[in-house]
Structure formats: C-alpha cells, structure tokens
Chains A and B, each alone.
Chain A
Amino acid sequence: MTKLYRRSHFARWRAAALLCISLTAAASFPALASAEDKPLVIVRDIDINSLDPARAWCDTCQIYLSNVYETLIGLGTDNKSLVPRLATKWEANADQSQFTFTLDPDAKFSDGSPVEAKDVKWSMERLKNVKGDASFMMDAVRSIEAKDAKTVVVTLTGPNSEFLNILTAPYTGVANSVEASANGAAAGEDAATADKGEAWFLAHSAGSGPYMLAEYKPGDVLRFKANPNYKRSAVAIGDIVIKHTKDAVAQAQMLQSGGADIAMQIDPDTAKTISGGELSVETVPSYNFLYVALSPGAKDGGKLASKEVRQAIGYALDYDGIIEFTVGGQGKKIPVAIPNGFPGTDGLPEPKQDLAKAKELMAKAGAADGFEINATFPNMNAYGVDLSLLIQKVQQDLDKINVKLKLTPVEFSVWRDQVRGDGIPLTTVFFAPDYYGSAQYVQYFGMMEGTPWWKRAGGATDASITNAKTAELLTKVLAAGDAEKPAIYKEIAQTMIDDRIIIPVVSPDLVLAHAKSVTGLRYSACCNLLMNELGLK
C-alpha cells in the first residue's frame, strides 16, 4: 500500500514533469515557427495621405505604390536609365509627342487577370481626371488609345522628351480597372467628383507589383505580402511591415534593440550613436533638398520685390555653416532647385557666402538699414533636417545684413494653406524627386506662368517676377534630343539662379541603417525603396 502510494506519488510527479516539458515544448515550437516567419520590419514616419494611386502623394506613398502597382517603365539601378517594366518596349515619333508601348504578355494582376492596354488607359486617365496632387504628371497627355490588348498609344499636347521619365514615377502605376471600377473607382472626365474608390483602396490593392496590401492601420502599420502572380523577378521576403515610428531617435533605438531591420529616416547626428556588429550604417548622397523661398507677392513681402535684395539674401547665407549645423556636415551644397546630378546641373557654380557683396546689393537697393519680414515655416523634420534649426541659422545669417526674420513655426497643413493663400514672404521647405528628369523642377520652381512657386511669389500681380526666358527654354528642351538637353537645362538653371526666388541651401545625405542580415537595400530616386530587391542572409 505504502509502496503503491509511493509509486503513485512518483508517477504523479513524473506526469507533472512530462506535462511541464510538453507544455514548454508546445510553447516553444510556435515561438520557433514565428521566429522563422517573422516579417521584415521597416521603421519610418508613415506620412500616408491615401493608398489610392490617383490620390496618394507622400514619401511612404512612393514606397507603397512602387511595390504594389507596376509602372510602364522602371528606373535602373543607376537612378538614371530607363528599364522595361510593364512595357517591354516603347517607341516615340520624331518630335516626341506620341509614344507607343508594348505590354509584357505575361504580366498579371494579383488576382491573376492579365494586365491589358485598357488598364493602362484607365489608370492614366484616372490619374489625370481625379485631379489629385500627382495629376499634373498627366497634364501633357492629350489622348490614350488601347490599340489592342497589349499596345497602348499615348498622344501628348506637344513634344515632351521627358514623358518616358515621368512614367517611372510610382504615381503612374497601373491598377486593375475591372476590379477597381467594380468598387467605385471611376476614370472619366468627371472622376474628380464621380470617383468613389478611395476608401476601397485603403483596404485593398489591385496592382501587378511584387507585393500586395495585407493590412493598413493609419498611424500604426502598413503590411505587405508577396504577390503570388508576380513573375518578373524572385521575391525573397514574403512578409514586410512598415511600422510607424515618428522620430529618428526612436527609429535608431528600434534598430538597435532588434525590433526593426531597416531605418531610412535617421539623421546623421543620431546615426553616430548607432553601434553594434550586427548593424550597418551607410551614408549616401540623396536627391532631396531643402530651400529658402522668397515671395515678393506675399502679404508684407514687398521688400523682396527688388532683385538686388533677393540676391543679397542669397549671398548672406552661410551655406557651409548650414550644412554643418543642420546635418553635421553630412550633406551637399546645391546651386539650383534641381537635384545635383540631374540634367543641367553639371558645372554650375557652388553657392557661397559673400557678406560684402550682400551688403553692397542691399545698399544699391536702398535697403541698407534692413527690414523685418515674416518667416512662417513648417515645424517638422524633413530628410534629417530640423526645419526650426535651419531657419534659425538663416535668421542668424540674415541678421548680418539687417534683414530680421520673425519666425513662426506652424503645422505643415497650416503652412500649406498659408503659402497657397496670402503667401509667406520667406520660408524654408523641402522637395524630393518623383522621377529622374529636370523638367518637373522647372515646372514647379521656374518663374513661368502657372507654376506653383510663380503663383506663390506673386507672378500674377508683379510682371517683373516672370522670366520669359525660362518658359522659352523649357519648350526648347522638351523638344530636344538627349544630347542637347543638358546644355539647355543648364541655361534654364542659370535663369532660375538669377531669379533668386528659390534658394536651395542643402541636399542632405541619406542614412541607410539596417541589420547586416538584410541585403539589397538601396536608395531609389523615384521610389525610395524597392522591396523586391531586398533579401536576407
């Protein structure tokens, strides 16, 4: 009895121990399994305004669209050359006003249906007609014809040698017209009001890119899963998560703690604090830049109507100091509001501070005693540059020629309303490319009728703001061949420098910080990050 009891007692202990082992094993197997299935985590400030290809307009949108919606043409790894994507070949007529694209016969959307010319036509017309932020990319398009299921002919309103480059921008990605139309999307001329597809696009994707939308929680996560119907290249990582992490310090901490695999918005000062043998930190030149914008036409901006005053401001800025103070020296000077390395920028003189000349110009303009102007700016960090810090440095520099800045930090949305409304005499803001090509910069920053900064600078009320030569040269360059383009763009750049409405101050380098186990990470001029190039070792 006693023996039996002892045996029974022992058996109970043994059973309990076995149960513990089994439970531990059961608990650890899923853990092992989940470690293997762990998604690749990218940390960044998710600034998404929409996931609708016709309405999205942000840096994270570029990443999302370029990985989910394929464009007709891709941008090569050199960030300059054009490579086939949905279009396997293309040809232009003699004056570059009509383009014919032949589609990849094997291209399929994520639902398995083939990508056809009607989808290309529908997507491009929808981008144009929805009149979202990126609609201007289709401004030059007169008509789009689906000649047959695999041939598209695009006719422009005039010659445009940069149209093929525009088609590398992620916003021109092609969506499944049948699926999207069935869910409220419209592409007709009344699409600005008739289209009801935006809400559907927030929870679904309808592209032919390497990834599909798995989940989107605003302000939290954007999750991708591999598109099983994507055959253009192998997709090494099936599950990728972009986790919303607002500031650079938090991104660096996530990376160091192993909570993230990639961080692309870390500023150079924070990058210096990243350590550990498992992490790689690489600094590469970027095409992003920050600039000071002067608007004589803004309320109380009259003092800036004098070109001498604007030129004096340009000479008063300490460009080396700005790069040192804003990005710890990890940036480049930029002569004109066109990224370094883009057509027309080779050989342009670097901007430099010349206080004597600045004072001389102020005296010539009768403004030696100086003046005070409002400088409202978006209180944010862009590409590693704290705009508050940047404008305080500008304030210190301009104080030396008696130009006093009254700084007012505001939210970006407030800034945008103000700059589009009454205008802001002096401000600082940023710009990033959507594709490789200089025309978009001329069309955005050039003092030609209708450009955004022409309007903000007061071109509509002050004829002296308009630079007829810029418009004339732009028409010429859009009809020119590849060999002539750089020289003409350089002439345009010189007119833009001379106008001194936009004064670029720094092109910050980009910090690519990632776990060493991640391979294939690179900065793309059009798309920021191409996930299908990523791998794990």
Chain B
Amino acid sequence: MSASSAPAKPRSFALPSHLTLPVLLGAAITLFWIVTALSVDLWPIYDPLDMVARRLMPPSAEHWFGTDALGRDVLTRTLHGARSSLIMSCAVIFFAVSIGSALGAIAGYAGGFIDNAIMRLVDVTLSFPPILLAMAVTAALGPGLENAAIAMIIVWWPAYARLMRGQVLAVKAREHVEAAVAGGAGHARTLIRHILPLCWGPILINATMDFGQVVLLAASLSFIGLGASPPTPEWGSMISEGAIHFYQWWICAGPGLAILSVVLGFNFLGDGLSDYLDPRRS
C-alpha cells in the first residue's frame, strides 16, 4: 500500500494568528468606505445637493436616515461625505508622513546642528494642542477643505519626524550600516538603501492608527465652520447642521455613525498591522 493511498486527513481551515476578528472587521469597514468614496457617484441614490423630500423627515423606507433641514437625503449625503473625508485624510497622512519622515530621517542621520534645528521645530509644533493649532492655521488661511488639509499636515508631520528620527538612530548603529559606510557608500545611499527600509514598520502602523484621528480632526474643523463650505456633504458640517435641529436626531446620526465606523475600522486595522509588523508588541 503506497503512502498516497492512505486516507487523506480532513484539512482544518485556520486563519493566520494575526488575522483576528477585529482586524477582519476593521478591514471590511475600511474597504467599504474606500469603495464608497471611489464609486458613490455610480450608486443609484439621490443627488446629495437636491431637495428630494419634505424637510426634517424621520427615517423611512424611502429615506433610511431621514432628510435634513433642506429636504436632502441624509444617507446620500453621508455616503458622499466619505469622499471628502477619506480623500482629505489620505492626502493629509501622505504629506505628513512624507514631510515628517524625510525631516526625521535627515535629523537622525545628520545629527548635530541639523538634528537640533529640526527637532526644536518639532518640539515647538508639538507643544500646541493639535485642534488649537489646526484652528489657528485654518482661521489664518480661510475656511475650506484644502486649507483644513494644510492645517492638519502642519499639525501631524512632527509626530512622524520624531518617530522616524528614533528609528534612524537605532538602525544607524547597526553593523550592516557601519559595513556599508566602510565599504564606501555615500550618505544618501546609506540612508536610503541601508537604513530607511528597516524603519517603515512603525511609521506604517502609526499612519494607519492616525487615519481615524485625521478623519475626526477634519470633522471637528468642519463642525466649527473651518472645514468644508456648504453645501459640500462633509460629516463634520452635517453634524453641525444637525446640532441646530437637536430633536431631529437622524440628521446627526448618519454622519456620526460614519465617523465612528471609520475611526473604529482604521484603529482595528492599525492594531492588526502592529501585531503583524511588530510581533514584540503582541
């Protein structure tokens, strides 16, 4: 009897240990909102700017999240709100990571005066409460999504600069870097080829975790009138409009649930990434 003729054992299906339920849930929520942001124009739903029904209608079969004070469908506006919120948050994270990482890497690698200059700038920026700094910058530049995004980049880059500097300092002392330098590698080559590839893990984890916070800050700026201008569907400004009609709870419920789910989704995903990329933490 050959080994191949032995009855095959049923194979048990098991997910990799880092793919926990929260991580899967986070991935599903995140995927949903990304797909929504990219394709909401194609969905067979109402126009987010049109009056489609009587004003302040409670949730019904036609309008699942009810209508707002101008008779616009709250669900439609919530789904369209994903576009401005997510695209802006992506842009903020991308630029904050790029600027912060570049400056942090230079500071950590160069040391001395350059390190001091960059890190003191980081200290000064981090000494302001984020919402206050963002409000001040947006108030100076004028309201609008673009200016709110600039304000948030100014708020967020120092965290990445500090993180990247720490990573570069740790990796710089390793033997393979010393070997590369001894082998005649220039500064740029040493930094880019031998140090940075080992530094991205924590940055990626932080960026994922921060995504939800950026969505929250963007919504906060819009809530106080410094973000999206009306009638742009944006979660923060929708909640602000809903706050006037306090007893018509459904106006705030849609965007509120959207913010909750996005923040939760990215936090779950960030935790999963953290376990996957940095097993010491788990």
Q: Is B142 an interface residue (CB 8 A)?
A: yes
Contacts of B244 in A (CB 8 A): 247-249, 267, 381, 386, 389
B70–A269 touching, CB < 8 Å: no
Residues of B within 8 A of A393 (CB): 70
Contact call A395/B69, Cβ cutoff below 8 A: no
Contact A269 B245 (CB under 8 A): yes
Report Cα–Cα, A391/B71, bound state, in Å. Answer: 15
Tell me the chain B residues, 68-100 only, with Cβ under 8 Å from chain A: 69-71
Distance in Å from the Cβ of A28 to the closest Cβ of chain B?
Answer: 36
Complex Cα spacing A392 to B230, Å: 7
**A379 with B247, Cβ < 8 A, contacts A389-B241, A410-B143 known:** no
Let me know if A519 is at the binding interface, CB within 8 A: no
Residue of A nearest to B247 (CB): A273
Do residues B231 and A325 form an inter-chain contact, with CB atoms below 8 A? no
Q: Are A408 and B55 in contact (CB under 8 A)?
A: no
Is B56 in contact with chain A by the CB < 8 A criterion?
A: yes
Q: Is the CB of B49 within 8 A of A388?
A: no
Contacts of A39 in B (CB 8 A): none
Among candidates A270, A381, A407, A409, residue contacting B247 with C-beta atoms closer than 8 Å: A270
Interfacial chain B residues near A392, Cβ < 8 Å: 70, 230-231
CA of A381 to CA of B246, assembled, Å: 14
Q: Is the CB of A325 within 8 A of B69?
A: yes
Residue of B nearest to A379 (CB): B225
Decide yes or no: A409 and B70 within 8 Å by CB, A273-B247, A389-B241 being known contacts: no
Within 8 A of B (CB), among A340-390: 379, 381, 386, 388-389
CA distance A11 to B241 in the complex (A): 66
Give chain A residues whose Cβ lies under 8 Å from the Cβ of B248. Answer: 269
With the chains together, A408 CA to B229 CA distance in Å? 6
CA distance A396 to B230 in the complex (A): 12
Most buried by B among A270, A389, A393, A395: A389
Identity of the chain A residue whose Cβ is nearest the Cβ of B248 in the assembled complex: A269
Whole-angstrom distance from the CB of B142 to the nearest CB of chain A? 7
A386 and B55 contact, Cβ closer than 8 Å, known pairs A249-B246, A273-B247, A396-B49: no
Please measure, in the bound complex, the distance between the C-alpha atom of A395 and the C-alpha atom of B231, giving whole angstroms: 9
Question: Could you tell me the distance between the alpha carbons of A434 and B108 in the complex, rounded to whole angstroms?
Answer: 66
List residues of chain B with CB within 8 A of the CB of A273. Answer: 247
Q: Are B230 and A388 in contact (CB under 8 A)?
A: yes
- Which of these, B142, B225, B230, B245, contacts A391 with CB under 8 Å? B230
Is B245 a contact partner of A408 (Cβ separation < 8 A)? no
B247: chain A residues at CB < 8 Å are 249, 270, 273
Report the Cα distance A379→B142, complex, angstroms.
13
Q: What's the Cα separation between A325 and B71 when bound, in Å?
A: 8
A136 to B245: give the CA distance in the assembly, Å.
Answer: 38
Binary contact track A396-417/B, C-beta < 8 Å → 1, others 0: 1000000000111110000000
The CA of A201 and the CA of B119, in the complex, are separated in Å by 50
In contact, A407 and B231 (Cβ under 8 angstroms): yes
- Is A324 in the interface zone, CB < 8 Å from B? yes
Shortest beta-carbon distance from A271 to chain B in Å = 11
Nearest CB of chain A from residue B191's CB, rounded to whole Å: 44
Interface string of B209-233 (1 = CB under 8 A from A): 0000000000000000100011100
Of B49, B225, B231, B247, most A-chain CB atoms within 10 Å: B231
A410 to B229, CA, bound (A): 10
How far, in whole Å, are A395 and B230 apart by their CA atoms in the complex? 10
Q: How close is A336's CB to chain B, nearest CB, in angstroms?
A: 27
B:104-156 near A, CB below 8 Å: 142-144
Which residues of the other chain, B, contact A407 by a CB distance below 8 angstroms?
229-231
Q: Tell me whether B245 and A388 are in contact (CB under 8 A).
A: no
List, in ascending order, chain A residues with CB within 8 A of B229's CB: 406-409
Flag if A396 contacts B143 (CB, 8 Å): no
Q: Please name all residues of chain A whose beta carbon is closer than 8 Å to the beta carbon of B243 when the two chains form the complex.
A: 247, 249
- Give the CA-CA distance A406 to B69 in the complex, in Å: 20
Give the shortest distance, in Å, between B83 (CB) and chain A (any CB).
Answer: 18
User: Is B51 close to A, CB under 8 A?
Assistant: yes
Residue of A nearest to B142 (CB): A408
Q: Shortest beta-carbon distance, A122 to chain B, in Å?
A: 42
| Known pairs A247-B244, A273-B247, A409-B229; A389 contacts B70 (CB<8 A) | yes
Assembled-state Cα–Cα distance A186/B245 (Å): 47
Q: How far is the CB of A417 from chain B (nearest CB, A)?
A: 13
User: What is the CA–CA distance of A408 and B231 in the complex, to the nearest angstrom?
Assistant: 10
Q: Encode B31-73 as 1/0 by CB contact (under 8 A) with A.
A: 0000000000000000001010001100000000000011100
Chain B residues near A410: list those with CB within 8 A.
143
Closest-CB distance, B148 to chain A (whole angstroms): 13
With contact pairs A324-B55, A325-B71, A388-B230 given, residues A408 and B143 touching in the complex (Cβ less than 8 Å): yes
**Inter-chain pairs besides A388-B230, A396-B70, 20 sampled, C-beta below 8 Å:** A247-B243, A249-B244, A249-B246, A267-B244, A270-B246, A270-B247, A325-B69, A328-B55, A386-B69, A386-B241, A392-B70, A396-B51, A406-B229, A407-B230, A408-B142, A408-B143, A408-B144, A408-B229, A409-B143, A410-B143
A-B contact pairs, 6 of them (CB 8 A): A247-B244, A386-B244, A389-B241, A391-B230, A396-B49, A396-B51
| Residues of A in contact with B (beta carbons under 8 Å apart) | 247-249, 267, 269-270, 273, 324-325, 328, 379, 381, 386, 388-389, 391-393, 395-396, 406-410
Top 8 nearest A-B pairs by Cβ distance?
Answer: A249-B246, A273-B247, A379-B225, A392-B231, A407-B229, A392-B230, A407-B230, A388-B230
